[in-house]
């Protein structure tokens, strides 16, 4: 008779995540492993094909991913790979949606100015995020100060649903 499956998930944090959410000591997870993930910044051990969360610290980080043709091509290629390999895909932004609508949020250099225009039009970022949501079925969430809590809730919900056989 084998050991019953562990009721708590093992959190995986991508090793490239520079300032990860601090889940140390959080009793919702059995443990935390820092491992290179092929997609996203956070997932669950054994469920990497089910859930992936990409964390964006701020709207400017998204803008940077869209600011040049090369960066935009890379960002869209990542979205395509994510859509092909992971069932539930999320981008969690650690700012409020109102921040995305404020052009002064897009400070792309030390002078806090875009080299082509003093302000980046919010429509560029929002339009691309809408494309991600529609074309790649990526859930984009502006969570502000609740980003860590939201990420945890997503991961625990998916883990629980998977354990109950509600997800394949």
- pLDDT tens for the chain, 168 residues long, are 444 555 899 999 999 998 899 998 899 999 999 999 999 999 999 999 999 999 999 888 888 888 778 988 999 999 999 999 999 999 999 999 988 887 666 655 555 555 545 555 778 888 889 999 999 999 999 999 999 999 999 999 999 999 999 986
Q: Does residue 92 lie in a domain region?
A: yes
Domain extent at residue 21 = 10-163
Instruction: Output the CA torsion 91→96→100→103 (10° steps).
Output: -150
Q: Does residue 5 lie in a domain region?
A: no
CATH of residue 39's domain is 3.40.50.10130
Q: Does residue 51 lie in a domain region?
A: yes
Q: Which of 52, 56, 134 is nearest to 99 (CA)?
A: 56
Gap between the Cα atoms of 119 and 25, Å rounded: 41
Instruction: Output the CA torsion 5→159→157→90 (10° steps).
Output: 170
pTM: predicted TM-score of the whole model, two decimal places: 0.87
* Structural domain total, the chain: 1
Q: Does residue 4 lie in a domain region?
A: no
């Amino acid at each position: 008779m084998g050991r019953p499956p562990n009721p708590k998930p093992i959190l995986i944090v991508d090793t490239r995540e520079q300032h990860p959410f601090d889940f140390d000591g959080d009793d919702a997870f059995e443990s935390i492993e820092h491992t290179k993930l092929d997609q996203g910044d956070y997932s669950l051990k054994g469920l990497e094909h089910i859930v992936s969360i990409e964390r964006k610290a701020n709207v400017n980080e998204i803008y940077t991913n869209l600011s040049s043709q090369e960066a935009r091509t890379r960002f869209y290629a990542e979205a395509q790979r994510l859509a092909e390999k992971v069932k539930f895909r999320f981008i969690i932004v650690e700012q409020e949606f109102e921040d995305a609508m404020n052009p002064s949020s897009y400070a792309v250099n030390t002078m806090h100015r875009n080299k082509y225009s003093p302000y980046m039009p919010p429509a560029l970022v929002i339009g691309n995020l809408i494309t991600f949501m529609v074309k790649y079925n990526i859930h984009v969430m502006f969570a502000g100060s609740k980003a860590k809590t939201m990420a945890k809730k997503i991961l625990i919900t998916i883990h629980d649903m998977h354990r109950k056989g509600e997800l394949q």
